[in-house]
């Protein structure tokens, strides 16, 4: 929008011939018009652009390990042979030390005495006439009959030494235990892992220039110096002033390469944590199995002397002659003659021994003689018991991968910057006339704004006056521009008063902007104590009311 300085004219008195063609059309008599050249109309456009691209930020969560307990074989299972030796029991064995034989006992004949009526005088005939004559004769008679006598000839013995089994032969079992060899068994105490190394995103620096306000131009009225005419309008010139475009250069960052990860291993030598850790434990393995050696334990013998029959018992038969006795007996010498008278035989009772029971041999069994020998016999044979020797285990701790290294991807958002640039909405430079109240068309217009001493704060009463007078005008006449002028009294430091007046003028501008008036239509100017309305300058004693008159805020139309 072109900025130009407007000036009030009184239509009836306007005599600028050079501008006659630009007079307001169909003016109303008695009204005042302000000649305005419309400004370029701009609007603030907010634009957000990227000054740093979005990129990935990678965080490596390292691999985690968990310690596991593993049972490993440190000694192989084997077999242990336990020898249960043969057990013996002592048994009593009746050993024949003398063979049984028979003995014959001679049972002698028994005799009994019998009275035998022995004829001692034969019967004869007695002759009475001649008696028989007798002679006494001795007769040998068997007093004891002959018999056979059995003479016992006992058995004869000879001593023999006999080797008898005192302890039976057995098998002796010798257990040879299994033997072990100690070997080292390697194991992985910590597994090797693949690591992740973050290759961060790479950026390139750059810049971007934005047009925040396009190139524009405006007409400005200036007054010639040393104007000879009493009418200042005669000395007004209008120049087109060009305003170059406004730019803003913002440093930007461009993403060259996004963040990535690359796998690393122990071979890269970056970290020993990636490497495999080995350890070893000792394990006993069977080098030779248990076995049983069998050997013969010879039988034990003892020498036993015993008598054996050399010649068996026998009997010898011996003839025992009969025993005789001499018996005197009368034998007829001459028989009786003539008269034979029987004379009975005469007998004598003779006692003699006769065999009651003949001699006999009674055979008596001689029992064998035995000796009780104690000997050890195998009760249970030696046996080999094989006992399983369980394997021995040990618990080792080793680290295994619990969770592999992972990459956490965090998207770093793009960095944006929002700039406000002014874009031309409507080209200005068009002459328009704004009808205003003639009372405010020229000169300074007082605003009823009272300030506290040393303060630039607007009071509620002051804002009410601004709303009623100036805000209403600015809203109705969209092409007007005004200057807010603030003044102080002469009390206090001059520089301080200049600053205070500028703050007070700016307070009014800020208030109007807050009500929707664009800032480019307002100019704040503080004059301090340079434009006093009375004589109350420095060093002059004045009343508070007089000083109050100098503390004022005015506005004037500048276009």
User: Does any domain span residue 346?
Assistant: no
Rounded Cα gap, residues 325 and 116, in angstroms:
13
**Structural domain range at position 498:** 437-558
Q: What is the pLDDT of residue 4?
A: 33
Rounded Cα gap, residues 153 and 9, in angstroms:
202
Q: What is the pLDDT of residue 437?
A: 77
Rounded Cα gap, residues 5 and 284, in angstroms:
111
Distances (CA, A) of 148 to 293, 319, 320, 485: 73, 4, 5, 200
User: Does any domain span residue 499?
Assistant: yes
Enter the DSSP assignment of 469. Answer: I
DSSP 171-228: EEEEEE--EEEEEEEEEEEE----EEEEE--EEEEEEEEEEEE--EEEEEEEEPTT--
How many C-alpha atoms does 355 have within 13 Å on its Cβ side? 17
User: Does any domain span residue 517?
Assistant: yes
User: Does any domain span residue 216?
Assistant: no
User: Does any domain span residue 13?
Assistant: no
Of 60, 67, 66, nearest in space to 405 by CA: 60
User: Does any domain span residue 69?
Assistant: no
Of 152, 154, 150, 153, nearest in space to 108 by CA: 150
Rounded Cα gap, residues 201 and 258, in angstroms:
4
Decide: 41 and 363 in contact? Cβ < 8 Å: no
Q: What is the pLDDT of residue 451?
A: 72
Q: What is the pLDDT of residue 2?
A: 32
User: Does any domain span residue 130?
Assistant: no
User: Does any domain span residue 139?
Assistant: no
Q: Within a 10 A sphere around the Cβ of 536, how many other Cβ atoms?
A: 20
Rounded Cα gap, residues 436 and 443, in angstroms:
13
Of 165, 149, 157, nearest in space to 91 by CA: 165
- Give Cα 105 to chain centroid, integer Å: 105
DSSP 117-174: EEEEE--EE--SSB--EEEEEEEEEEEE--EEEEEEE--EEEEEEEEEEEE--EEEEE
Kindly give the pairing relationship between strand 482-487 and strand 552-557: antiparallel
Q: What is the 3-state secondary structure (H, E, C) of 43-69?
A: EEEEEEEEEECCEEEEEEECCEEEEEE
Q: What is the pLDDT of residue 237?
A: 64
Q: What is the pLDDT of residue 224?
A: 60
- β-bridge mates for residue 119, sequence order: 347
Q: CA Rg, the chain, in Å?
A: 86
Domain count, the chain: 1
Instruction: Indicate which CATH number applies to the domain containing 545.
Output: 3.30.1330.60
pLDDT per residue as tens, the chain (559 positions): 333 333 333 332 333 334 444 677 778 777 787 777 676 777 778 888 788 888 888 888 888 888 988 888 888 888 887 878 888 888 887 877 777 877 767 777 787 887 877 777 777 766 666 787 888 888 787 877 787 777 777 888 888 887 888 788 878 878 788 888 898 888 888 877 777 778 888 888 888 887 877 777 666 666 666 666 655 556 666 666 777 888 888 888 888 888 888 888 887 777 777 788 888 888 888 888 878 788 888 888 888 787 878 888 777 778 888 888 887 877 778 887 777 778 888 887 778 777 788 877 677 788 888 888 787 888 888 787 888 888 888 888 888 888 887 888 888 898 888 888 777 777 766 677 877 777 777 677 888 887 776 888 888 888 999 999 899 999 998 888 999 999 988 988 999 999 999 999 999 999 999 999 999 899 999 999 999 989 999 989 999 889 888 888 999 988 6
Q: Within a 10 A sphere around the Cβ of 290, how many other Cβ atoms?
A: 19
Take residue 348 and report the two structure tokens written for it: 């004598």
Rounded Cα gap, residues 414 and 482, in angstroms:
44
């Amino acid at each position: 929008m072109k900025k130009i300085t407007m000036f009030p004219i009184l239509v009836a008195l306007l005599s600028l011939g050079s501008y006659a063609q630009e007079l307001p059309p169909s003016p109303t008599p008695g009204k005042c018009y302000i000649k305005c050249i419309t400004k370029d109309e701009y609007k603030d456009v907010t634009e957000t652009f990227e000054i740093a691209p979005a990129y990935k930020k990678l965080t490596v969560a390292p691999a985690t390990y968990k310690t596991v307990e593993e049972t490993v074989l440190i000694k192989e299972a084997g077999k242990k042979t336990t020898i249960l030796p043969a057990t013996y029991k002592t048994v009593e064995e009746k050993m024949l030390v003398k063979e049984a034989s028979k003995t014959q006992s001679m049972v002698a004949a028994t005799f009994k005495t019998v009275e035998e009526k022995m004829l001692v005088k034969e019967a004869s005939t007695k002759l009475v006439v001649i008696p028989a004559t007798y002679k006494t004769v001795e007769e040998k008679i068997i007093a004891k009959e002959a018999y056979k006598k059995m003479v016992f000839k006992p058995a004869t013995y000879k001593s023999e030494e006999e080797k008898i089994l005192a302890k039976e032969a057995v098998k002796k079992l010798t257990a040879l235990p299994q033997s072990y060899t100690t070997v080292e068994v390697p194991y992985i105490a910590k597994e090797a892992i693949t690591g992740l190394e973050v290759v961060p995103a790479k950026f390139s620096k750059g810049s971007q220039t934005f047009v925040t306000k396009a190139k524009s131009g405006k007409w400005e009225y200036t007054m010639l110096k040393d104007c000879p005419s009493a009418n200042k309008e005669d000395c007004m010139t209008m120049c087109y002033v060009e305003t170059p475009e406004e730019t803003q250069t913002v440093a930007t960052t461009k993403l060259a390469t996004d963040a990535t990860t690359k796998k690393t291993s122990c071979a890269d030598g970056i970290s020993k944590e990636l490497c495999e850790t080995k350890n070893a434990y000792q394990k006993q393995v069977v080098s030779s199995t248990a076995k049983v050696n069998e050997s013969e334990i010879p039988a034990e013998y003892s020498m036993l002397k015993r008598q054996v029959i050399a010649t068996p018992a026998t009997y010898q038969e011996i003839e025992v002659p009969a025993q005789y006795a001499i018996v005197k007996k009368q034998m007829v010498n001459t028989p009786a003659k003539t008269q034979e008278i029987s004379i009975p035989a005469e007998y004598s009772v003779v006692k003699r021994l006769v065999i009651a029971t003949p001699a006999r041999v009674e055979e008596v069994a001689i029992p064998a003689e035995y000796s009780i020998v104690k000997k050890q016999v195998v009760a249970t044979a030696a046996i080999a018991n094989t006992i399983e020797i369980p394997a021995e285990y040990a618990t080792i701790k080793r680290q295994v991968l619990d969770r592999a290294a992972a990459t956490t991807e965090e998207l770093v958002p793009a960095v944006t910057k929002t700039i406000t640039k002014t874009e031309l909405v409507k080209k200005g430079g068009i002459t328009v006339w704004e009808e205003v109240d003639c009372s405010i068309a020229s000169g300074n217009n007082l605003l009823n704004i009272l300030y506290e001493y040393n303060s630039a704060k607007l009071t509620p009463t002051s804002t009410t006056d601004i709303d009623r007078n100036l805000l209403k005008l600015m809203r109705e006449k969209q092409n007007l521009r005004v200057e807010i002028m603030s003044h102080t009294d002469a009390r206090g430091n001059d520089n301080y008063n200049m600053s205070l007046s500028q703050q007070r003028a700016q307070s009014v501008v800020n208030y109007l902007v807050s009500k929707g008036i664009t800032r480019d239509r307002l100019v704040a100017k503080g004059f301090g104590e340079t434009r006093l309305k009375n004589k109350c300058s420095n060093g002059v004693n004045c009343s508070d009311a007089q000083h109050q008159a100098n503390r004022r805020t005015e506005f004037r139309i500048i276009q």
